[in-house]
């Protein structure tokens, strides 16, 4: 008869676990960058068989857990979430939670506890707020790499430079959680793939105006479905996104060439230079000539 697997909060082979000392955290709160977002705990467990944590009162900080391999279960209050490779979850402060690795296929995870004046804003930005704390990213290896870039900062003596590096590195990791995020539902992800393919069409056609019908047909979706899914993923309409790309290209040409605003307008498919200038000012905040004067230094 096999011996039962012991339930452990930590103590796994090869684990990495660092809790920043209270005095260090007090100093971090005085640093301009760290007072907005500051890591208090960081760690990684690989194939953590028997991993089990119960916190009836939660933690004072937000807790981000990302599953790199294997599986496990996280419960927040009375709601349970199943985590597999690519899943992440944010546990809200001061709310009862528990989590455990799968007994047969234990997870490999990394985590951060974090606080700060903008901590809740970062959580909202990655779409992991109350009621929908779980998310899924397609390129989990990039998140794993971002963790490895963060961890050395807790090994350098907790100087101001290390604390700022940890905060900015963690902010970048949260940005990747947003940028790499895809739907947890596989069927919806297939539609998201079609939406993402339409971005290539837009980038390859900066010199002309594309109709919504043309972009949706390229994605193989009906116009209403495509428009709704595009807005859900990119937080703007397809036409607005294409305009942003064209204005970005206009900025590049204003900075890197001697072409007039009228010539740049024509190169981007705008036959009316005055309309182009008005559109540029509305999207960028200043006319093309003023933008060039402010951003070109020769």
User: Could you tell me which of 70, 32, 34 has the C-alpha nearest to residue 50?
Assistant: 70
Evaluate the CA torsion angle 16, 167, 172, 59 in order and state its sign.
Answer: positive
What's the longest Cα–Cα distance across the chain? 83
CA gap 68, 48 in Å, rounded:
12
H-type helices in the chain, by residue range?
A: 22-28, 119-125, 140-150, 160-179, 186-203, 212-219, 223-234, 238-256, 261-267, 273-284, 288-295
Spatial contact of 250 and 268, defined as CB atoms under 8 Å apart? yes
Threshold 0.75, pTM exceeds: no
Give SS3 for 233.
Answer: helix
CA gap 156, 34 in Å, rounded:
17
H-type helices in 89-156, by residue range?
A: 119-125, 140-150
53 pairs with which residues across the strands?
99
**Per-residue pLDDT tens over the stretch 237-265:** 999 999 999 999 999 999 999 999 999 99
209 pairs with which residues across the strands?
none
Per-residue pLDDT of the chain (298 residues), as tens digits, is 345 668 888 888 889 999 999 999 999 999 989 999 999 999 999 999 999 999 999 999 999 999 999 999 999 999 999 999 999 999 999 999 999 999 999 999 999 999 999 999 999 999 887 788 999 998 899 999 999 999 999 998 899 999 999 999 999 999 999 988 876 666 777 777 788 889 899 999 999 999 999 999 999 989 999 999 888 888 899 999 999 999 999 999 999 999 999 999 999 999 999 999 999 999 999 999 999 988 876 5
Evaluate the CA torsion angle 226, 229, 233, 238 in order and state its sign.
Answer: positive
């Amino acid at each position: 008869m096999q011996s039962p697997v012991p339930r452990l909060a930590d103590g796994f082979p090869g684990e990495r676990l660092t809790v920043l000392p209270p005095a260090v955290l007090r100093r971090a709160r005085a640093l301009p960058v760290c007072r907005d977002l500051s890591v208090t705990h960081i760690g990684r467990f690989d194939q953590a068989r028997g991993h089990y944590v119960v916190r009836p009162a939660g933690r004072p900080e937000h807790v981000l857990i990302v599953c790199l391999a294997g599986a496990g279960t996280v419960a927040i209050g009375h709601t349970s979430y199943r985590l597999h490779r690519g899943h992440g979850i944010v546990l809200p402060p001061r709310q009862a939670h528990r989590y455990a690795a799968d007994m047969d296929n234990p997870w490999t995870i990394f985590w951060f506890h974090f606080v700060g004046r903008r901590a809740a804003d970062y959580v909202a930005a990655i779409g992991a707020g109350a009621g929908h704390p779980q998310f899924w990213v397609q390129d989990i290896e990039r998140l794993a790499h971002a963790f490895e870039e963060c961890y050395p900062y807790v090994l350098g003596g907790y100087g101001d430079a290390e604390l700022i590096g940890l905060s900015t590195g963690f902010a970048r990791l949260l940005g990747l959680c947003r940028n790499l995020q895809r739907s947890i539902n596989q069927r919806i992800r297939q539609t998201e793939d079609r939406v993402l393919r339409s971005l290539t069409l837009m980038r390859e056609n900066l010199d002309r105006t594309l109709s919504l019908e043309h972009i949706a047909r390229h994605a193989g979706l009906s116009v209403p479905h495509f428009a709704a899914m595009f807005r859900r993923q990119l937080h703007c309409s397809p036409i607005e996104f294409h305009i942003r790309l064209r204005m970005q290209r206009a900025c590049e040409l204003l900075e890197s060439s001697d072409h007039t605003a009228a010539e740049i307008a024509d190169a981007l498919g705008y036959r009316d230079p005055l309309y182009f200038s008005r559109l540029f000012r509305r999207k960028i905040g200043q006319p093309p000539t003023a933008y060039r004067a402010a951003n070109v230094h020769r």
